[in-house]
Chain A
Amino acid sequence: MATVGHITDHLSGPEPLSLPTKLHEWVVTVDHKRLGLLYIATALVFFAVAGVLAAMIRAQLAFPNGKVLPPDVFNRFFTMHGTTMVFLVGMPFFAGLANYLVPLMIGARDMAFPRLNAFGYWMFLFGGLLLYFSYIGGEGLAGHGTAPDVGWFAYAPLTERAFSRGTSTDYWILSIILSGIGSTVSAINVIATIVSMRCKGMTLARMPLFVWLMLVVSFMVLMALPPLTAAQTMLLLDRYLGGHFFDTQAGGSAVLWQHFFWLFGHPEVYILMLPGFACASEIIPVFSRKPIFGRPAMIGATVAIGMVSVGVWAHHMFSVGMAAPSNIFFAAATMMVGVPTGIKLFNWLGTLYGGQIRFDAPMLFCIAFLFQFLIAGLTGVMLAVVPFDWQLTDSYFVVAHFHYMLLGGLLFTLFGAIYYWFPKATGRMLDERLGKWHFWLLVIGFHLTFDPLHFAGVLGMPRRIYTYAPGRGWEGLNLLSSIGVVFQAAAVSCLIWNIVRSLRRGAVAGNDPWDAWTLEWETSSPPPEYNFAVLPEVRSSRPLWDLKHPEDPDWKYE
């Protein structure tokens, strides 16, 4: 038997790899596609963890005087939820998409620096593990605290040694510095790839919008992360060497931390959102059967968002008592962001207008994104009005606003992207029926959870309270919100089941299941290690359209 087995193995190609060898290959890989998948898979695991934390938080808040979580655990949970979602889900998920797709879309065989790419991934992974290791190691030698409980923006001087004893805050600082280094090298890599590795004919004007947006995001990462790294370093110096950066008793400033943090934190919001725009800008045209409407305006609006976004940070700080001119400046700048964002929204609508729209799962998610993102943008402009912000800052209105942005906007495009590119990465389609279940359950769950929170905020419910007394008019709204979590959990379960099932039994996708126009659909699914046997040469922004329609190519008109 052994001999026969050996012979058939020999005939059917190379011997199948043993599990350790396979795992070893994933560990030592420098292939941009594998690293991209590693990023995405890791981000999804952290997403599930952060989702469980959020579900526990909502369980605690479902009824007044809740007893599910004690207050100190509650503080740790919202800190870990926020930190995980921003640094370990949002950023790496799109680092993964950029890694996987940018070289394919610009007709390159790998990223500019493959080993640096692997370095970035492992920094991110160990940064994330370090954050969660705090649950075990956070007590440290001093015996105080476990996981960090200082909130995701960790206002100093509460994070100083006198108020945050033990090592939990240090875990938070170090893990974010580590994953920040990962994000920075990944951004450097994306820029160098886009600038230096494009295939022949891929001019900047012909580059897919996804690639354009990733280029802008990467520049923003380069500018936005250093303030965070610097502020974290200062905090470490304070905590361990007795520095006084944020020590108010020695003349240090509590507001300086806020400036540094939001100088990072607000561009960070756009760093998270723009990749969502990037996915929508690829998916909407393909499923409308029309080229994107107003391509140059889209690119211009993206660059404008990138530039304006570094000048709006202090709108997070209206209530700390800045001078009136500062308030006016930052309010005006914040409203200005609405202009390029509005341009984008109208361009997506213009793309839909008159198109032959196909309502497949990726498109459904993008259409929901348009509606929800609009509402999120409107509440954002409301919060930019200084007196309105004074009234509602640090209330559940703000929580509802940014969750509308990050869930209703970002997460929906993220799921759309999974449905859209899964066939390319695995060679198999995700199940459409399960996809529709996933979509509708998520829409219901999302609106149930976050629509009522706007009203709870207006009724005065502050964020970060671990419980509340009955009789303030918050009970019904909070209960509705918590019920929504059940639907969201069911929706995510549909996705997980869909992925597991489709990996084995999904319909075979072929190279180009969506009849799309960008280069990644030209190669096989999944792409070979070298991506393209012959490096492509492009003459328009829709190279595959030119290929499929030689009688009416785009390059005649561009």
Chain B
Amino acid sequence: MSELAMNPTIAVEQAEWKLPDRGRVGLACLIVTEFALFSIFVVAYLFYAGKSLRGPTPAQVLEVPVWATVCLLSSSLTVALAEHALKLEEMAAFKLWTGVTVLLGLEFLRQTAREWHHLILDWHLTIGTNLFGTTFYSLVGLHASHVVVGLTLLLLALTLVVLGKMDGEDRRFGLLAWYWHFVDAVWIVVFTVVYVVGR
């Protein structure tokens, strides 16, 4: 190999050899494939919209979850603030913003749980009731499970910082923030499909 390395190199070749960060590339790929997964469930939801043979229908039972949406979307902002604070090594601010993000995520999940509780107990709508129930619970549930994964990872990051095992040099929190933004972005799609178009 030494011969190759010793070849006279022209100026262009001397330019710095810099490639994208592998973590970011990997996470971008994960987001692409997750997006494809969600789009199949979205297609199924739209395909079956209005095709249930019996009620209840979305128009009867669904209420637009404004508060949950506000919580989840604003958590994108707080996670960005946390990321910024971590880069500046301001650990107190980092803990604050990550904590707020986790609380907002938990509140979102609580709202989802309340909605489901209402649907199941008051309307007797389960996954087996009709096509609406089948597609609704699977799409919203798929998204909620991603929120759970994101929250688990955020709590893990918070623990690592508290234990002093993660600092501003660590690029992993940036990746986690990407993932969290992705979960938020998917909610915009789910929200539009389920509560705006599908109702």
Contacts and interface: CB of A to CB of B under 8 A. Distances in A.
Interface of A: 112-113, 116, 184, 187-189, 191-193, 195-198, 200-201, 222-223, 225-227, 229-231, 233-234, 237-238, 241-245, 250-253, 256, 260, 263, 522, 532-539, 543, 546-547, 550
B21 interface: yes
- Chain A binding site: helix, strand, loop or mixed by DSSP? helix
A455 B60 CA distance: 58
B131 interface: yes
Contact of A192 (B5, B29, B32): B29
B192 interface: no
11 contacts: A191-B25, A192-B26, A196-B21, A223-B32, A241-B127, A242-B128, A243-B138, A250-B130, A252-B48, A260-B40, A536-B5
Contact of A227 (B13, B19, B36): B36
Chain B interface category by residue count: 35 or more
Contacts of A533: 1
B117 interface: no
Given A201-B13, A250-B130, A538-B4, A227 B29 contact: no
Nearest to A535: B1
Given A251-B53, A534-B5, A222 B29 contact: yes
A226 B36 contact: yes
Contacts of B26: 112-113, 116, 188-189, 191-192
B7 A539 contact: yes
Contact of B44 (A256, A536, A539, A546): A256
A229 B4 CA distance: 46
Contacts of A532: 1
B51 interface: yes
Contacts of B67: none
B138 A234 contact: yes
Contacts of B21: 196
B40 A227 contact: yes
Interface in B2-46: 2-5, 7, 9, 13, 17, 19-22, 25-26, 29-30, 32-34, 36-37, 39-41, 44
Given A230-B40, A533-B1, A198 B29 contact: no
Contacts of B130: 244, 250-251
Contacts of B34: 226
Contact of A244 (B20, B25, B131): B131
Contacts of B152: none
B159 interface: no
A116 B131 CA distance: 37
Contacts of B47: 253, 256
A215 to B, nearest CB: 11
A46 B25 CA distance: 32
Nearest to B6: A537
Interface string B107-151: 000000000000000000011101100110010000000000000
A550 B4 CA distance: 10
B20 to A, nearest CB: 5
A195 B20 contact: yes
A251 B4 contact: no
A112 to B, nearest CB: 4
Given A196-B21, A251-B52, A534 B1 contact: yes
Nearest to B32: A222
A248 to B, nearest CB: 11
Given A250-B130, A543-B4, A550-B3, 5 more contacts: A112-B25, A113-B26, A229-B37, A230-B44, A244-B131
Given A197-B22, A250-B53, A533-B1, A241 B40 contact: no
Contacts of A546: 4, 7
Contacts of B20: 195-196
A113 B30 CA distance: 13
A260 B37 CA distance: 11
A191 B23 CA distance: 11
A351 B145 CA distance: 52
A405 B34 CA distance: 30
Contacts of B51: 251
Kindly list the 8 A-B residue pairs having the minimum CB-CB distance in the complex, ordered from nearest.
A242-B128, A230-B40, A226-B36, A196-B22, A226-B37, A112-B22, A243-B134, A222-B33
Contacts of A195: 19-20, 22, 25
Contacts of A234: 44, 138
Contact of A223 (B36, B126, B135): B36
A251 B131 contact: yes
A230 B37 contact: yes
Contact of A197 (B19, B29, B138): B19
Contacts of B3: 547, 550
B25 A241 contact: no
A229 B138 CA distance: 13
A237 B33 contact: no
B15 to A, nearest CB: 10
Given A196-B22, A251-B51, A245 B33 contact: no
A197 B26 CA distance: 12
B186 to A, nearest CB: 13
Contacts of B36: 222-223, 226-227
A193 B128 CA distance: 44
A216 B2 CA distance: 32
A150 B2 CA distance: 58
Contacts of B22: 112-113, 192-193, 195-197
B25 A192 contact: yes
A485 to B, nearest CB: 39
A244 B37 contact: no
Contacts of A237: 127, 134, 138
Give the one of B1, B20, B37, B128 with max A CB within 10 A.
B1
B4 to A, nearest CB: 6
Nearest to B135: A245
Given A222-B33, A537-B5, A244 B134 contact: yes
A299 to B, nearest CB: 19
Contact of A196 (B1, B19, B44, B127): B19
Contacts of B5: 534, 536-537
B57 to A, nearest CB: 13
Contacts of B39: 226
B131 A252 contact: yes
B48 A251 contact: yes
A179 to B, nearest CB: 15
B25 A243 contact: no
A227 to B, nearest CB: 5
